[in-house]
Amino acid sequence: MSGSQKQTAASKPAQNKLWGGRFTGGLDPLMEAYNESLSLDKAFYAEDIDGSIAWARANQNARILTKEEFKEIERGLGVVRKEWETNSFEIKPGVDEDIHTANERRLGEIIGSAIAGKLHTGRSRNDQIATDLRLWVRRKLLEIKDHLDSLLKVIVSRAENEIDLLIPGYTHLQRAQPVRWSHWLLNYGSCFARDFRALQHVIEELNYCPLGCGALSGNVFGIDRRAIAQELGFKDLCLNSMDAVSDRDFLLKTMGWGSDFMMHVSRIAQDLCIYSSQEFGFVKLADAYSTGSSLMPQKKNPDALELLRGKSGTMHGLHSGFRVALNSLPSCYNKDMQEGTSAILTTIHLLSTSTQILTGVLSTLTTCPAAMARALEPSMLATELADYLVRKGVPFRETHHISGRVVALAEKEGKGMDELSVAQLQGVDQRFGDDARGCFDYEAAVERRTAEGGTARGRVMEQVEALKVLLETGKMGD
């Protein structure tokens, strides 16, 4: 007999285990460690206690518990909560399999097992963990919503205060057309505004109560699930008991939201990595979000941005991994779902810290107006020449070709388009007048983009105001 087999045969499940009565043999120690989840789900201690108090109250109202028994359970759970809060809760390895077992075991030590043993009446760990997860994720997403609110406020503030700055707008990482720096900021403000609204929906969709559904088939003691839901702040009940204990869509939606959000974070981080490089120099990152090189003293690396970019991949992996874990599971609860605990803990930490780091980066970076201005170059105004001729009635397809010939002439002459004389422009096309040189004005080019959503000052300020309305009301302005 191997050592592991001897240990297994010699030990029966501890009496504290919520499932031990039917078993005559103990767990392999490796299985004990493989199965435990307390190292992770202890994060839900407060939610587990809140759910247990609501459950005990419901059982008192159903006359399963007396008023005195409920008060003892409530008092005892208050002691347990305090121990967790003060980091004095003593975990017992091999006994405390998960947060539910640990809290109930400790409750029994405080108030006695005769009363504590009644707490779990009609309840399963299946509906218990489903409730804990929803409560915890809801609380954490509301915190992340606050962080996202702060991020959007920084973007709005900078966009409003730095509206005079112009930068090249890029497509394919090639200079395209001049835009306001504020317009670039609000590009990502729009992304994060969508994330803000989507997060509100994720929070709303998870706010349904599964407690009272038991292992899968419901409760036999006539407890009032709606009273439980109201006490715990849920807006309604999960409809079907089998679905309630096995639904992890709210975790997937949280991770899916996180994946979309981190994609946007990664993109702004990439832009800022480029803009803060010596080759561009549009912005300088604060020392608080940069590091140096162990070899090259001159280096100032945008580590915060690179980490944000890298952690987006981690977020995508968490979402995909848990989706695969749930795929093809049979109905009701299966232990595979425990993988969601690790995934959601990592997800929430990643999203919370990333949002705060990006807010810190954006609130402390320094813009470099001279470098931004130097990056503007006349060929970016080629479309202005084409539009100039359009206003004279020339079809755009023709003006596009004509403007391209002006670009080619400037390259041949080795000068900027704005250095070509009117005579040279007319040598390309006689319809260029003396006022054609007015096309080579970056501010004027930006101000001509007056359609809604454009980069003209007035339109940029409209975008600023729309985001302010979102932050004040939770909805974008009409």
Give CA–CA dist 131/51, Å, rounded: 7
User: 152 and 471 in contact (C-beta within 8 Å)?
Assistant: yes
From CA 327, how far away is CA 316, in angstroms rounded?
17
Pair type for strands 236-237 and 208-209: parallel
Catalytic residues: 172, 293
What distance in Å separates the CA atoms of residue 14 and residue 384, rounded to the nearest whole number? Answer: 80
- 185 touches 361 (CB < 8 A): no
Single-letter amino acid, residue 366: T
Ramachandran region, residue 94 (left: φ > 0; alpha: ψ -120 to 50; beta: rest): left
3-state secondary structure of 235: coil
Beta-bridge partner residues of 371: none
Longest dimension (CA), the chain: 101
Residue 261 near residue 351, CB atoms below 8 Å: yes
Cβ neighbors of 77 (< 8 A, separation 6 or more) are 49, 52, 53, 56, 103, 107
Give the relative orientation of helices 339-364 and 249-275 as an angle to the nearest 10 degrees: 30
List phi, psi (to 5°) of 350.
-65, -45
- Is residue 127 within 8 A of residue 210, CB to CB? The reply is yes
CA distance 131 to 126: 9
